[in-house]
Amino acid sequence: MKKTLVVLAHPNLEKSVVNKALVDRLSQEENITINDLYSKYSDFKIDVEKEQQLLLENDVIVFQFPFQWLSSPALLKEWFDNVFALNFAFGEAFKLEGKKFVVSTSTGSAEKEYQKDGANKATIEEFLMPFCGTANHTKMEYQKPMAAHGAFSLSKEDIENHGNKLVDYLKSL
Neighbouring CB atoms inside 10 A of 28's CB total 9
Grouped pLDDT means (10 residues each) for the chain, 173 residues = 96 95 97 98 98 98 96 98 98 98 97 94 97 98 97 95 98 97
Q: What share of the chain is helix, strand, coil (3-state, %, to 5)?
A: 40, 20, 40
Between CA 22 and CA 128 the distance in angstroms is: 19
The per-residue pLDDT for 74 is: 98
DSSP bridge partners of 100? 60, 141
The per-residue pLDDT for 1 is: 76
Contacts of 10 (CB under 8 A, 6+ apart): 16, 19, 20, 36, 38, 64, 65, 66, 73
Q: Strand pairing of 4-8 and 100-106? A: unpaired
Which residue type, as a one-letter code, is found at position 30? E
Assessment of whether the complete model's pTM goes beyond 0.95: yes
**Under a CB-based contact definition with an 8 Å cutoff, are residues 76 and 41 in contact?**
no
The per-residue pLDDT for 169 is: 98
Contacts of 85 (CB under 8 A, 6+ apart): 48, 52
